[in-house]
Amino acid sequence: MSASPAPVTNDAQYELPPVVNPGGVRGLNYTPNYIVRFGITGENGMRGGGPNIWLVEKGQDGPAGGGAETCCIGIPEVWKPDMKVTIRWEAEKMSDGKTPGVHYVAEARIPQYARETAGMWAIFLPGDRVKVMVRDGNANGRNSISARPTDDDPYVAQGVVDEEAERKAAERRRKNAEGTATERRRMAKALEEEALSAAGGEATELRRQAAEQRRLAEAVEANAAEAEALLAQLLQREAAARGCKHDASQASADCPEGKAR
């Protein structure tokens, strides 16, 4: 009589992936700077973008924002120590219609939260600081949106100029300006060629239009150059205020540890 085959066993241990719950992204702004946009990335595919947030105007009681929500970001059901996210945002520091916004980045620790969650929040504070938290059912001292984070809150992170984002934004501005100026000059050339076959007042008007297109092309290039110069000055002032070394050609702010405010 043949022996029965040994039972098949599998000693491998399988770890179930963490449960990730969807949640909206909101923000509060305690600064006098308009938050153009912000985005949050973290572990376990945690990724989401937040809405733009209006600035705190003089005499305003409390922060701006809190109403608009962007869907969605994945929030791990179970918090773990040293959970971190990277937040990037663009702040309009000079509301002059010329100076581009400045891009910042910070790595922020997430305060402990309960299983019952109500979305992720970014709280922007003066000095280019930010706190990122998951609002929970307890709404305890670390996860409450009803009170401004204190200056000694260990979960408030210091932002620095996002050099890569600044370079990409500068390149987009240059390309857009070059494209617009090129199109204006193309139109000017077409109008001048059309004027060659026209006569009298019609030819004069076509040449006038061609000259106007060339003027607009030059204005676009001049405005783009002015915007870049204004942004470089703004970044230099910020770096100087923080005691940082600054390379205007790269729009960088290298703050030695302990010197950033």
Overall fold of domain 20-161: Immunoglobulin-like (2.60.40)
User: Which of the 8 DSSP states describes residue 127?
Assistant: T
> Does the pLDDT of residue 258 top 90, yes or no?
no
Name the residue among 146, 16, 134, 41 with its Cα closest to residue 79: 134
Domain borders along the chain are 20-161, 165-245
pLDDT band at 82 (very low <50, low <70, confident <90, very high): confident
The average pLDDT across 228-244 equals 86
How do residues 94-116 score in pLDDT, each as one tens digit?
A: 988 899 999 999 999 999 998 88
pLDDT band at 138 (very low <50, low <70, confident <90, very high): low
More confident residue, 257 or 182: 182
pLDDT band at 146 (very low <50, low <70, confident <90, very high): confident
Q: From the CA atom positions of the chain, what is the Rg in Å?
A: 27
Residue 205 Cα to chain centre, angstroms? 46
pLDDT band at 251 (very low <50, low <70, confident <90, very high): very low
Q: Strands 70-76, 20-29: parallel, antiparallel or unpaired by DSSP?
A: antiparallel
Model pLDDT, residue 52: 93
How far is it, in rounded angstroms, from Cα 43 to Cα 20?
11
How far is it, in rounded angstroms, from Cα 92 to Cα 128?
12
Model pLDDT, residue 253: 42
Give the end-to-end CA distance of the chain in Å, rounded to a whole number.
83
CB 141 within 8 A of CB 111: no
Percentage of the chain lying above the pLDDT 70 cut: 84
> Does the pLDDT of residue 254 top 60, yes or no?
no
